[in-house]
Structure 1
């Protein structure tokens, strides 16, 4: 997740021994090597701009940078109409001082990116660039978000594109299953779909978008976040870009505020008989980001269970890999975390005829983790979780993850801090976490030939 900024200590030498057949692979290290890299330069906890907007920066001292303006205005905050998807699609538009075409063209000529993204909790506009373009990127992002002009033709032009995006996204099995899983698990709030349907698109107006933006675009709901940028420079450019913009405080209008998340569970079956590979997801009630210890525990539990091979020609890893190695179905674990809730579960992909037997073995693997965890498995899970956390995301994903942490907790963890939290997870923590998962009602989504896929109560 986090990029390395250097390693100190004596030069290490390594010796590896290899054997064939059933002989174990041996590994020994001679010399010193620090567990984590030194802390990179970062903003202090609770840092804010002059207008109250939170700011977070992590400088790895590289040449490339990523900056985003992230707003707590995701789909869980919608009142009725699906306005968040429309707002995401129209966030970059003509400004009073410039045109849409010129904005995009200037980013292109500099070699920078410009993108918007929507999650169930946050709306984002961001850019990746070489660090000397910070002075141009920050004001461009701010001016697009707080753009007072919104012509009727811009909304009308966007509606067909939004409808096409919804259709193409939900045609992807991965997206369709993920969307159905959230609706099954949470129903409302986090269960709201990310994609606006035709009925909503025929009703939404510019006034609806303005009302939603006025309610959610408050100082307490916004964070300016950057990676690969100087914290002091980001604060200075942020204050300059926001100068003259009056922002209200508070969390926003109660009409667009989502209450505490309730987990329900249940079963959804999506028929797709022509697909070559069926999908079967078993989700359980996870933890929220505010519970840092429980979040780190679930990261280690996911690594403990993970069934996908970690080397190109290697065998399946983790408890799931051992339980399902003889099948044509790929079994993996996932952990998704939001501010006050989460989803943890098992994901199966393969021939529909094999799903039922593999699902039972996968559940047995989780049950074994709820009974005991060996020292060897714990050590492997620690290392795998740290590697996945640091290198499992791009710079843009890291930027969005830092913003999510800041909006929930007011601060964020560096790579060293996250590694320390992961390393502190004990076998007893994993057993307790697995037991808590199994005590919740499962959220099951089946996708494929439903005549061959099992029902939840058959497992």
Structure 2
């Protein structure tokens, strides 16, 4: 019997909590795509998705600088006024850079969507003033780059992209101290982004409300060609060539004690990753069984062979026309890392996909997908990454595609990846670190 102190839920509250979220998509014009996910909560968010990721930059670091220019002075207000207006209603503004997109996001309480969209719209009229570049933006960008280079996992991940694609998707999310970025470079990337298709992603509000806001508010900032439906400018977006190779980077011996040597293997995926690719990290993964007589995942078992402090994990880096299956290994010391890398490669080559292991992996993947779609950040990330695609799969679509996987299909995809030429990056004491061919690659 339930304690009498528990509050009883009213019928209306129960209905609102159990209402299914709705996903809606509409190509408002050939250059404006509107996507909404109405979860019936108390908060909303709106994101402008611009094709201004690092794959579109003409010089290293321009996209990183552009991200840090977000919400500074524009044609309508100063940076101070923009932040003050957002804080007045309790809203938050943020900018996120990926290899494909720059996201300008505002999160707010329901009812404040028009105000935050006006703030996002004003950001589209950014002036990109030279004094702002040198007084604040460049310093922030430099600190981000320094932090990334001092983290072997991040440094290796960026270098793996450069080895894999060289330009385009190979362009780093971080600036380079060797290639200074000028204000004209920033303005050029920004101008080209505004000529391309723009995505508007909303969470916590209906499609009808979002479209009405876009029609009335965005009209103040975008040129009439976009609103009249004229074609967007096509950028160079197709990844046509994969390269691969090996790069060895000396670990800074003066770095913090917790910094560990890292070994990264990146296998190429020649198209936007399919469910057969996305399930692989869960088959390889770091699953640890609670039963002492049951084996854990292949990567976890491989790491345990080397000893305590050794870790191995896998994930997929998905993009609109390519992807990477990334395996990351860390250890306490470069000699131990060499041994761990060899054990991981053996485990991957020996992996057998049967019905039982696939069922376990699918269960783990489905839970993670479902949990992601139950958070505003997760929904926004899922929708923004695919907003320009032909179709945007819902949570239900993704779960069904995972259920449809077979051991034979996954085995075929895994075999193709293992046979391909990977990109291999080690950040370690090079005198103690094995080469890729010495660990079985």
Report what 2:7 is aligned to: none
Where in structure 2 are the equivalents of 1:259-270 lying within 5 Å?
259-270=238-249
Q: Report the CA distance shift for 1:204/1:259 in structure 2 as closer, same or farther (over 3 A).
A: farther
* Alpha carbons 2:54, 2:63 under 8 Å: kept: yes
* Alpha carbons 1:189, 1:261 under 8 Å: kept: no
Q: 1:38: Cα distance to partner? A: 8.0
Q: Say which of 328, 332, 347 aligns to 1:365.
A: 347
Q: 1:173: Cα distance to partner? A: 2.4
SS in 1 for 2:382: helix
* Alpha carbons 2:266, 2:422 under 8 Å: kept: yes
Q: 1:199: Cα distance to partner? A: 4.1
Q: 1:250: Cα distance to partner? A: 4.3
SS in 2 for 1:452: coil
* Alpha carbons 1:215, 1:253 under 8 Å: kept: no
Whether 2:383 is the aligned partner of 1:406: answer: no
Unaligned runs of 5+ in 1: 1-36
Q: 1:282: Cα distance to partner? A: 1.1
* Alpha carbons 1:49, 1:238 under 8 Å: kept: no
Report what 1:18 is aligned to: none
Report what 2:134 is aligned to: 156
Whether 2:422 is the aligned partner of 1:442: answer: yes
Whether 2:360 is the aligned partner of 1:380: answer: yes
Q: Report the CA distance shift for 1:81/1:358 in structure 2 as closer, same or farther (over 3 A).
A: closer
TM-score using structure 1 length = 0.82
Q: 1:259: Cα distance to partner? A: 4.3
Could you list the per-position Cα deviations for residues 170-208 of structure 1 after superposition, in whole angstroms to 9, with x for gaps in the alignment? 22222212111111221111111122223433x512x33
Give the whole-Å Cα distance in 1 for the aligned partners of 2:280 and 2:65. Answer: 37
Whether 2:182 is the aligned partner of 1:204: answer: yes
Q: Report the CA distance shift for 1:316/1:72 in structure 2 as closer, same or farther (over 3 A).
A: farther
Q: Say which of 192, 196, 199 aligns to 1:223.
A: 199
Could you list the per-position Cα deviations for residues 368-420 of structure 1 after superposition, in whole angstroms to 9, with x for gaps in the alignment? 33xx312110110110111122325853343133122121x233121111100
Q: 1:310: Cα distance to partner? A: 8.0
* Alpha carbons 2:75, 2:125 under 8 Å: kept: no
Report what 2:433 is aligned to: 453
RMSD of aligned alpha carbons: 2.5
Q: Say which of 281, 288, 308 aligns to 1:302.
A: 281
Q: Report the CA distance shift for 1:70/1:350 in structure 2 as closer, same or farther (over 3 A).
A: same
Report what 1:169 is aligned to: 148
Q: Report the CA distance shift for 1:51/1:376 in structure 2 as closer, same or farther (over 3 A).
A: closer
Q: Report the CA distance shift for 1:43/1:268 in structure 2 as closer, same or farther (over 3 A).
A: same
Q: Say which of 72, 86, 93 aligns to 1:93.
A: 72
Give the whole-Å Cα distance in 1 for the aligned partners of 2:293 and 2:385. Answer: 35
Report what 1:126 is aligned to: 105
SS in 2 for 1:429: helix
* Alpha carbons 1:287, 1:295 under 8 Å: kept: no
Give the whole-Å Cα distance in 2 for the aligned partners of 1:317 and 1:127. Answer: 42
Q: Report the CA distance shift for 1:122/1:367 in structure 2 as closer, same or farther (over 3 A).
A: same
Whether 2:325 is the aligned partner of 1:344: answer: yes
Q: Report the CA distance shift for 1:217/1:320 in structure 2 as closer, same or farther (over 3 A).
A: same
Report what 1:59 is aligned to: 38
Unaligned runs of 5+ in 2: 1-17
Report what 1:26 is aligned to: none
Give the whole-Å Cα distance in 2 for the aligned partners of 1:421 and 1:114. Answer: 34
Give the whole-Å Cα distance in 2 for the aligned partners of 1:231 and 1:159. Answer: 38
Report what 2:262 is aligned to: 279
SS in 1 for 2:95: strand
SS in 1 for 2:431: coil
Q: 1:355: Cα distance to partner? A: 2.0
Could you list the per-position Cα deviations for residues 331-362 of structure 1 after superposition, in whole angstroms to 9, with x for gaps in the alignment? 11111111111110311111223222322222
Report what 2:406 is aligned to: 426
Q: Report the CA distance shift for 1:359/1:152 in structure 2 as closer, same or farther (over 3 A).
A: closer
Q: Report the CA distance shift for 1:453/1:123 in structure 2 as closer, same or farther (over 3 A).
A: same
* Alpha carbons 1:308, 1:316 under 8 Å: kept: no
* Alpha carbons 2:331, 2:340 under 8 Å: kept: no
Give the whole-Å Cα distance in 2 for the aligned partners of 1:411 and 1:222. Answer: 16
Report what 1:355 is aligned to: 337
Give the whole-Å Cα distance in 2 for the aligned partners of 1:129 and 1:333. Answer: 35
TM-score using structure 2 length = 0.85
Give the whole-Å Cα distance in 1 for the aligned partners of 2:131 and 2:289. Answer: 50
Q: Report the CA distance shift for 1:212/1:411 in structure 2 as closer, same or farther (over 3 A).
A: same
Whether 2:54 is the aligned partner of 1:75: answer: yes
Q: Report the CA distance shift for 1:379/1:51 in structure 2 as closer, same or farther (over 3 A).
A: closer
Q: Alignment length, in residue pairs?
A: 407
* Alpha carbons 1:306, 1:317 under 8 Å: kept: no
Report what 1:186 is aligned to: 165
Q: 1:363: Cα distance to partner? A: 1.8
Q: Report the CA distance shift for 1:304/1:143 in structure 2 as closer, same or farther (over 3 A).
A: same
Could you list the per-position Cα deviations for residues 125-174 of structure 1 after superposition, in whole angstroms to 9, with x for gaps in the alignment? 11222222212111211220233x34332222222222222222322222
* Alpha carbons 2:46, 2:105 under 8 Å: kept: yes
Q: 1:50: Cα distance to partner? A: 5.2
Give the whole-Å Cα distance in 1 for the aligned partners of 2:289 and 2:322. Answer: 29
SS in 1 for 2:99: coil
Q: 1:428: Cα distance to partner? A: 0.8
